[in-house]
Structures are given as C-alpha cells and as structure tokens.
Homo-oligomer: A and B are copies of this chain.
Amino acid sequence: MDREERLEKIYDKALEMFVANGYDQTALSQIAKELGLTKAGLYHYFSSKEDLLFFVHERHMNRVFNPILEAAQKISDPEERIVYFIRNYTLKAMTRDASARVLVHETNNLKTENRQKITVLWRNGLDLIRNTLSEMEDQGKIEKINKNFAAFALLGMCSWTFYWFDYERQESGEELADTYVRVFLKGILKAS
C-alpha cells in the first residue's frame, strides 16, 4: 500500500469512527487498531490527534464540498448554478451522512492556524453564492437585498440540516432539497 492509499484509508476510518462515537471518545490508539497499525505507525503520519482532525476535515472538503463548488462554477446561468449548489450541497454534504455535523463541531478543537485554513475552504461556498446573487442582480432578476446576508441565509438553511436530519430516512433528502430550492429562489426572485 503506498502513502496515498494509506492516507485515504486513515481518512475513511477516522471519519467513520468520529461520526459513530464522537471525536473526544475516539482515541488515536483505537483508530490505529482498526486500521491494523501500531500507534507508532499512525504517529508516522500524524503527530497529534488535532493534526489528524485537520487532515480529515481538509480531505473531506476536497472529497465532498470542493467538487460541488467546481461543478457549480462551470454552470453559466446563475439561477441554474444556485439550484445546482443547493441540491448537491444538501444531498451530498448534508443528508448522506453526519460527517459535516462532527467536523463543523470539532473546528473548536483545531489550532488557530488550521481553523483559519478550514474557514477559507467553507468561505468559498459563501463567495460562490454571493457572486451568483450579484450576477442575478445585474440581470435584473432578483429583488434588492443584502447579498451577504442572503448568502448566509441560504448556507444556514442548508447547513442546519445536520442538527435534525434523520439519516435513516435518506429518501426524504430529495424533497428537502426541493423545499430549500423553492423557498430560497422564490424568496429572492422578482415576481415574474
């Protein structure tokens, strides 16, 4: 197994255990054991549990969040772009599993410099929405609104999902995403 394969397995297992048992309740030694590594073997890659938490959060953004942003950015029509973002963020980053809940909560446990790096990644979502709202405004499609607050309203509506969503009922994700799309779009668009 090469280094990258090993790191991917560590990411998968550590995230799975953080979600199942909580970050505080998961010891590095337990993660090592589940991976068939010695604790020293895991320390070869991560010098502390905080280091591992940062790695997992950053990789999660690369695996789940960034691809949604990149695909959205390729959509030229701003209204289609925002619909794509709401649907995919809700379905892939929120309702599929409880990873976001654990990772967002545990940002408190990151060192300041690592927390700042993670914040930058999340802020890219805010920028995408804000810029998209600006384009829609330029096209005369939306009501006059504070675009910063509206972008936070949208991200908040979607992100709060991890506090209450029943992950056993995956099938309700589609209707939930549709509800967010309808409420937000209708909430900002000029009546046609």
A10 to B105, CA, bound (A): 26
- Chain B CB count within 10 A is highest, among A143, A154, A183, A186, for A183
CA distance A10 to B180 in the complex (A): 41
Question: How many residues of A are in contact with the other chain, CB < 8 A?
Answer: 33
Query: Is A45 among interface residues, defined by CB-CB distance under 8 A?
Result: no
Specify which chain B residues have a CB less than 8 angstroms from the CB of A157 in the assembled complex. 153-154, 156-157, 160
A145 contacts chain B at the CB level, 8 A cutoff: yes
Q: Is the CB of A176 within 8 A of B160?
A: no
**Is A67's beta carbon under 8 Å from chain B?**
no
* Contact call A184/B182, Cβ cutoff below 8 A: no
Q: Given known contacts A105-B108, A108-B22, A160-B156, is B191 in contact with A187 (CB within 8 Å)?
A: no
Q: In the docked arrangement, what's the CA distance between A179 and B148, Å?
A: 10
Which residues of the partner chain B approach A188 to less than 8 Å between Cβ atoms? 183, 186
From the candidates B22, B150, B159, B175, name the one contacting A156 in the complex (CB within 8 A): B159
| A100 close to B (CB within 8 Å) | no
Cα distance, A131 to B166, chains bound together (Å):
21
CB of A30 closer than 8 Å to a CB of B: no
Query: 1/0 contact trace for A51-65 toward B, CB 8 Å?
Result: 000000000000000
Task: List residues of A (165-192) whose CB comes within 8 Å of B's CBs.
Answer: 175-176, 179-180, 182-188, 191
Q: In the complex, what residues of B have CB within 8 A of residue A176's CB?
A: 146, 149
Separation of A143 and B182 alpha carbons in the complex (Å): 10
A126 closest partner in B (C-beta) = B164
Known contacts A160-B159, A160-B160; decide if A153 and B108 are in contact (CB<8 Å): no
Q: 12 A-B pairs, CB-CB below 8 angstroms?
A: A105-B105, A150-B179, A150-B183, A152-B164, A153-B157, A153-B179, A156-B156, A156-B161, A156-B163, A157-B157, A157-B160, A186-B186
